[in-house]
Amino acid sequence: MTFSVLESTHNAIRLLVEDPLIQIHPEVKDLICRMQFTNESSPINPCPFRQVEVAAALKAIEAAMVNVIGNRRFGYEQDVMIDFQHTTL
């Protein structure tokens, strides 16, 4: 079985979105599905701490929330691409 940063990121997003203690607006949940991720690569040093995945998942939720605000205020949404390597900087 090979490790995938992308699969792990989607799993982190799913866990956050489905957590009953975190109330994420349905409009935000819909936009999270539209996120695209780039620059997937194998981890240099495999580690049990999934900082790349967690950072990307949080950025996806953040971007979806900003997209909702932009849509409500200005009437449009933007496509969002999240770069795995940049999220960890």
Q: State pTM to two decimals.
A: 0.82
CA 64 from centre of chain: 9
pLDDT of res. 47 = 63
**Would you write out the chain's pLDDT as a tens digit for each of its 89 residues?**
577 888 989 999 999 999 999 999 999 998 988 889 988 666 555 666 788 888 999 999 999 999 999 999 999 888 899 988 888 77
Show the tokens assigned to 47. 């580690």
- Domain range list for the chain: 5-87
Are 31 and 68 in contact, with CB atoms under 8 Å apart? yes
